[in-house]
Amino acid sequence: MKNVVSKQWLWLMVLMAVLSSCSQGGRRYKIGVSQCSEDIWRDKQNAEMRMAAYLHNNVELRFAAAYDSDARQVQQIDSLVATGIDLLIVAPNQIATISPAIDRAYEKGLPVIVFERKTSSQKYTAFMSADNYEMGRVMGEHIARRLQGRGRVMEVMGLKGSSPAIERHKGFMDALALYPDIDVVATLQGDWTEQSAIKAIQEYSGNVENIDFVFGQNDRMAIGARKALTAINPSSSTCYCGIDGLPGEDGGIQLVCDSILDATYIYPTHGDQLLQMAVDILDGKPFEKEVRLMSALVTQENAKVLLMQNEEIVRQTEYLDQLHTLADNYLHQLDTQRLVNLLAIALVVLLGVVALMLYRYHRQKIKLHEERTKMEREQLDFYTQAAHELRTPLTLISGPLDQLAQADDIQHLPKESADLLAIVRRNTANLSQLVNKILDVQTGHSTDGLTSHQIDEMVVSKAKEEDSDPMATQGELTADADAPTLLVVDDNADIRTYLKTILSKRYKLLEAADGQEGLRLAKEQVPDLIVSDVMMPVMNGLEFCQQIKRDFITSHIPVILLTARALSKHQIEGYESGADAYITKPFLPELLMARISNLLKSRHQLHDLWTGGSKDQKKEEVTQPMKEDAFILRFKAVMEEKMDDSNLSVEDLGTALHLSRVQLYRKVKAITGCSPVDLLRKARLAEALRLLAETNLSVSEIAYKVGFTSPSYFTKCFKDEYGKVPGEARMT
Ligand code: FRU
């Protein structure tokens, strides 16, 4: 049972695993993003990466911002790697300081994308950025163009040591070197923040009057410089240029549009492109190792158009975002639905398993019950057999002993022998009781607290009261020619011999060793009564009894079953097979005699079929024969049909009923107490009596009509039967 359960659980778990693996899809990617700072440019880029990740539902992004601190960024990179990311995207704060952390990640086998700012190491998988040198150069040319080659210019640089600051400066200076009349009056140091530019200008000791152009290396620093210089000289006409060109309210494009900045340069964020590159690398798809992002200058001429385009992009993005939220909801619902389905399947499987287990348990229970019942039956059979084996010899000891004790010459025995005989008798009785008790306990039955021996004694004492023949005279009787015939059927020859010693004094005996032989004898000889054992070879007593009761010839014969099968259940079986009495071994001979005597006495109930009842019974009772309907009706019909045939013989009747002379004689005698000849005469006389009463026919006519050949013989017989002559019968 335990095995069955564990096997079924195993199946269930395998099924769940298969189902859940089906629902998971491909490999999940964890991508770490290490940003050197946090500002609107970085926010935009991060947002673009998040958007792009929506397209890949197997991508998980982990962001970290170092707030322009080298140490913090190094620590953040190490932590991201430790969390088990699959790829690192990094914008290093400065060229040299962050390289060791990037190298460590790369050396662990992690793909690394360096973007926007450079590292001093070559240990990266790919690099993506716009051309910062070109930006500085374009911005230098723009200013030179606006100043028509003459004027005073100031530059505020980004964080010292960061690659864009170095490259933008170089490009800017290279462009202005072509214009000797343009004077770069100062190159101040900022750190990409607005505040750093304000501070740099405030701390600048040189002359800030008549500065025509300020190039802030990003828009925020350009605004900071503007604020600082305007504070010093509110009426100054200085122009400001920056880099980043972000869209949105506070972005550089709007500032150009509002003439706060003269120009800016779009520094592309392209977070979506960055994420796609990461996924391609993780998917093992081909990718470009160095990607240069294209960009453009924003001036008064194109700022408005760019703003409009940006607004459109924002609108589309919002729309996409809504679509995504919607899709996300659907996906969520789908996930829930899938989970519900999985749970439902699991539940069905579980219920199936439970049902199967219950079914098996139920079947096992039935099997166990059947096995137990079979065992009990076998046990019962064994004890029944044992009872038979024990009770039969006991019967053969106790019976003869009882007879010996009742014999006349017992008085002549020496006292010692008589005492010994008494001891043997007492102990035989004890042994009988003991055997009964043991068998009753073993089979779980009790004969209502009495041993069968005790019951036998009770019955026999009652039978003795009823029996007119005193048992004491039994020994003197011998069976005469008219004595009833008994058929004894038992496979045990000793039992048959013993029964013979008991019964032969009063009855003529026939013997058979099994049911089949018994049946043959019974049909042939039609005995008055049958005493049969139950457990016999060839045909047992129950089958035998049924056959006797079923057969037309023998059906009237009383059957006594004499057996060691003492249980109530066995007795019921016996009576159901049609037995008239059931006596258990060991038995008292007196009990058997009493039963036989009673059964023989009550068999002649139908002796007067035509004259209205038996000698002692009323007509209503006799005209309702119980078991003999078929035989009696046929017998009567044949007799009535052939009544006027004076030559009708017993043989003729037998032939009509398909019975031999002996069979007919015994059957009729047993049922009615009369011979067939007597019965035929009684039938003729009964018909004559009816004709005398109901017709005007003369006595002679009636005599011939009912089959008498001589009216005088008819008159004699009539008088014998009814005690008066026919003439007298007519007058009354
Ligand atoms: C954003 C930013 C930009 C600048 C770039 C240089 O963090 O400061 O304003 O263009 O970084 O790396």
> What mean pLDDT is reported for the chain?
85
Instruction: Please indicate whether residue 116, judged by its CB atom, sits closer than 6 Å to ligand 1.
Output: yes
Range among 337-346, 423-432, 606-615, 697-706 rated most confident: 337-346
Residue type at position 162: S
Q: Which atom of ligand 1 is nearest to the CA of 193?
A: 8
Pairing relation of β-strands 151-157 and 182-189?
parallel
- The answer to whether the beta carbons of residues 29 and 60 sit under 8 Å apart is yes
Mean pLDDT confidence for 583-591: 84
pLDDT-based confidence at 469, cuts 50/70/90? Answer: very low
Instruction: Please indicate whether residue 192, judged by its CB atom, sits closer than 6 Å to ligand 1.
Output: yes
Mean pLDDT confidence for 374-395: 80
Least confident piece of the model among 251-265, 595-609, 702-716: 595-609
Instruction: Please indicate whether residue 708, judged by its CB atom, sits closer than 6 Å to ligand 1.
Output: no
Instruction: Please indicate whether residue 243, judged by its CB atom, sits closer than 6 Å to ligand 1.
Output: yes
From CA 247, how far away is CA 11, in angstroms rounded?
Answer: 59
Query: Is the domain defined by 7-129+273-293 classed in CATH 3.40.50.2300?
Result: yes
CATH assignment, 451-607: 3.40.50.2300
- The answer to whether the beta carbons of residues 92 and 127 sit under 8 Å apart is no
Mean pLDDT confidence for 650-675: 82
Q: Where in the chain is the domain with CATH 1.10.10.60?
A: 629-731
CATH assignment, 629-731: 1.10.10.60
Closest to 272 (Cα-Cα) out of 293, 251, 298: 293
Mutation to probe ligand 1, out of 218, 264, 266 (largest number of atoms < 8 A from CB): 218
Closest to 192 (Cα-Cα) out of 223, 228, 157: 157
| Position 621 pLDDT exceeds 70 | no
514 vs 731, higher pLDDT: 514
| Position 665 pLDDT exceeds 80 | yes
- The answer to whether the beta carbons of residues 218 and 192 sit under 8 Å apart is yes
Distance 220 CA to ligand 1 centre (A): 9
Q: Which atom of ligand 1 is nearest to the CA of 37?
A: 7
- The answer to whether the beta carbons of residues 94 and 159 sit under 8 Å apart is yes
Q: Where in the chain is the domain with CATH 3.40.50.2300?
A: 7-129+273-293, 130-268, 451-607
Closest to 577 (Cα-Cα) out of 541, 531, 630: 541
Specify the DSSP class assigned to residue 529: E
Instruction: Please indicate whether residue 115, judged by its CB atom, sits closer than 6 Å to ligand 1.
Output: no
Position 671 scores a pLDDT of 78
| Position 21 pLDDT exceeds 70 | no
Least confident piece of the model among 191-195, 210-214, 441-445, 567-571: 441-445
348 vs 655, higher pLDDT: 348
Position 675 scores a pLDDT of 82
Residue 669, SS3 per DSSP: helix
Position 456 scores a pLDDT of 45
DSSP string across 356-379? HHHHHHHHHHHHHHHHHHHHHHHH
| Position 625 pLDDT exceeds 50 | no
Closest to 569 (Cα-Cα) out of 461, 446, 466, 698: 446
DSSP string across 414-481? -HHHHHHHHHHHHHHHHHHHHHHHHHHHHTT--STT--HHHHHHHHHHHHHHH-SS-GGGGGG----T
Position 424 scores a pLDDT of 83
Instruction: Please indicate whether residue 136, judged by its CB atom, sits closer than 6 Å to ligand 1.
Output: no
pLDDT-based confidence at 672, cuts 50/70/90? Answer: confident
Position 604 scores a pLDDT of 61
Predicted confidence (pLDDT) per residue in 34-63, tens digit: 999 999 999 999 999 998 998 888 999 999
Shortest-distance Cα residue to atom 11 of ligand 1: 192
Position 467 scores a pLDDT of 41
pLDDT-based confidence at 677, cuts 50/70/90? Answer: confident
Position 448 scores a pLDDT of 41
Position 723 scores a pLDDT of 86
From CA 313, how far away is CA 668, in angstroms rounded?
Answer: 125
Q: Report the residue count for the chain.
A: 732
From CA 577, how far away is CA 543, in angstroms rounded?
Answer: 7
Residue 233, SS3 per DSSP: coil
Position 283 scores a pLDDT of 95
User: How far are the Cα atoms of 122, 467, 533, 721 from residue 32, in angstroms, in the given order?
Assistant: 20, 117, 100, 133
Position 441 scores a pLDDT of 60
Shortest-distance Cα residue to atom 4 of ligand 1: 218
Predicted confidence (pLDDT) per residue in 63-100, tens digit: 999 999 999 999 999 999 999 999 999 999 999 999 99
Position 608 scores a pLDDT of 53
Shortest-distance Cα residue to atom 6 of ligand 1: 164
Distance 41 CA to ligand 1 centre (A): 7
From CA 589, how far away is CA 501, in angstroms rounded?
Answer: 10
Q: Which atom of ligand 1 is nearest to the CA of 165?
A: 6
- The answer to whether the beta carbons of residues 560 and 581 sit under 8 Å apart is yes
Residue 544 CB coordination number (10 Å): 28
Distance 118 CA to ligand 1 centre (A): 12
pLDDT-based confidence at 176, cuts 50/70/90? Answer: very high
Portion of the chain with pLDDT greater than 90, in percent? 49
Q: Which atom of ligand 1 is nearest to the CA of 163?
A: 12
| Tokens linked to 476 | 């003197």
pLDDT-based confidence at 655, cuts 50/70/90? Answer: confident
pLDDT-based confidence at 645, cuts 50/70/90? Answer: confident
Closest to 91 (Cα-Cα) out of 81, 79, 78, 77: 77
Instruction: Please indicate whether residue 41, judged by its CB atom, sits closer than 6 Å to ligand 1.
Output: yes
Predicted confidence (pLDDT) per residue in 206-231, tens digit: 988 899 999 999 999 999 999 999 99
Predicted confidence (pLDDT) per residue in 473-527, tens digit: 333 446 677 788 999 999 888 888 888 888 888 899 999 999 999 999 998 888 9
Instruction: Please indicate whether residue 39, judged by its CB atom, sits closer than 6 Å to ligand 1.
Output: yes
Q: What is the 3-state secondary structure (H, E, C) of 634-674?
A: HHHHHHHHCCCCCCCCHHHHHHHHCCCHHHHHHHHHHHHCC
Distance between start and end Cα atoms, the chain: 92
Contacts of 160 (CB under 8 A, 6+ apart): 94, 189, 191
Residue 60 dihedral angles phi and psi, to the nearest 5°: -120, 125
Q: Which CATH architecture has domain 130-268?
A: 3-Layer(aba) Sandwich (3.40)
Instruction: Please indicate whether residue 265, judged by its CB atom, sits closer than 6 Å to ligand 1.
Output: no
